[in-house]
Structure formats: C-alpha cells, structure tokens
Amino acid sequence: MPETTPAEDLDLLIAAARTAGTIAQQHFRANPEIWQKGDESPVTEADIAIDRVLRTDLLAARPGYGWLSEETEDDAERLDDDRVFILDPIDGTRAFIDGQDSYAHALAVAEHGRVIAGVVYLPEKDKLYAAARDLGATLNGQPIRASAQRSEAGAQLLATKPTMKEAHWPGGIPPVKRVYRPSLAYRMALVAEGHFDGMATFRPTWEWDIAAGAILIEESGGIVTDGHGRDLRFNRRHPQADGVLTASPGLHAALLGRRRTA
C-alpha cells in the first residue's frame, strides 16, 4: 500500500498541473501542429508534450503508481496497481486549437477504484480547482461548495443539446435552463464551485475526462454518478463510464427520477 497521503498526492498534482499550464501556454494561439487520431478527434503537439513531461515527472515521484492518460497507449499493467494516475493533458483540445481560454488540465489519483486526489487547472483563466479525499475542495486555495438548489425549476444544467433530447428522459425533459461550456472537466468543476447547479452527459465518457471532476464534486457536497445513478469506479479495464449525472443532492434525485421509467 502506498505510504503517501491523499494530501501529498494532491500537492504533487497541483505542481504537475502548473507545469502543464506552462507548456500549454507556450503553444496557445501559436499555430501548434495538429493531428487527427483514429477516432477523428484532434491532438496537438502541446497535448503530446504535456503528456510526456508529466508522465516522466509523476512516475519518477511515485514509481509504484500506474498510468492512464488520453495521450498514452494503454497498458493493462495499471490494473494491478493500488494507485493510478488518471489524466487528460488538455481537456478541451478543440477549444485550445480555436484559441478559446476554457481548455483545462485534468489530473487525478485513484486508489482501488475511487479518486483520492484531483486537480482541474485552467491556466488562461488562472483557476485551479483542487480536492483530496475528506479534505474538501478549493478554487485557488479557497473552499468551494456545490449548489444547494433542490428544485428543477430555475436550475441551470450544463449539457449539450443532444443530452436534452426526449429519448434520454423517459420521465419528461426537466424544466431546467441548459447552458454549455467546453471541457467536461471544467463543467464538473463549475458544478463543484456552485456556479451551476448540475451537469449531464449520457454518452460513454472516458475516465480521464471525469476523474478529477468527480472528487471535486464529492468533496464540495454534490452528488456524482454515471448516467443511470450508479457509483463511478475508476481504473477499469475499459476506462469508460456510462455517462455522468451530477448535481446538488436534491436536484440529482429529481433529475435521476426523470431518467427512469415508471
């Protein structure tokens, strides 16, 4: 069992996130080289550079940890590790390419399927969200809390237009105001901050997009599950969740009720 505490891992992730931000800013709005991956999603030279540097630095600091990253070929050996780094070097790569300032770096450590430390960092906005198990969540060092919204009426839900289609809501489309931000990790951080009341996506969702956001929400008092209300588990053989539904406790229950048939 690793001897380091969640707080120590969080400190390591914060330093790594700032390193990622420095690298990203060297390429931001500087016409970085871009490639298309097999799934036709874009990747830039900044994504690759961040992944390479963080893998070297983090595994040197924690040689017994596994590694799961969007930009590294997966290695099943991580399944045997007690703790695993889970990260997206740049979440919101399309926004990064377009010169939008809402891209983020998402870094987490999971232990036996649960995230114990996580950071979401937006260098262009100077916003660093951080959380460790049982230690609360912060934004730039100040405590944050999820929304106390209980009613669907008046609630603001971060979601794409397809997420709000009738087929996803057997109990009826909820009467919420839909809003949107690039970067799934940033959307989850905004829920943790209480800036929005909830977030939903019902597409298969990669662990590196949601691991850091999951602990931010849990430690800020929100509820986060997969799209059907089941607990999220991390470092699985196929590292995807069946969507994500997160909100304040009362609102989460109301939204989940609409996801289920009578």
DSSP, residue by residue, 121-182: EETTTTEEEEEETTS-EEETTEE--------STT-EEE--TGGGSGGG-TT-----EEE--S
Cα–Cα distance list, 246 to 173, 200, 201 (Å): 16, 6, 9
Percent of the chain with pLDDT over 90: 94
Question: pLDDT of 115-143, one tens digit each?
Answer: 999 999 999 999 999 999 999 999 999 99
Q: DSSP label at 230?
A: P
Token digits of residue 75: 């290695």
Instruction: Indicate if the pLDDT at residue 225 is higher than 80.
Output: yes
pLDDT band at residue 262, thresholds of 50, 70 and 90?
A: very low
- Mean pLDDT, the chain, as a whole number? 95
Can you tell me the distance from the alpha carbon of 258 to that of 12, in angstroms, rounded to the nearest whole number?
A: 40
User: What is the pLDDT, as a whole number, of residue 2?
Assistant: 59
Confidence category of residue 37, pLDDT binned at 50, 70, 90? confident
Least trusted range by pLDDT, from 34-38, 168-172, 221-225: 34-38
Question: Does the pLDDT of residue 79 top 50, yes or no?
Answer: yes
Q: How far apart are CA 45 and CA 150, in angstroms?
A: 43
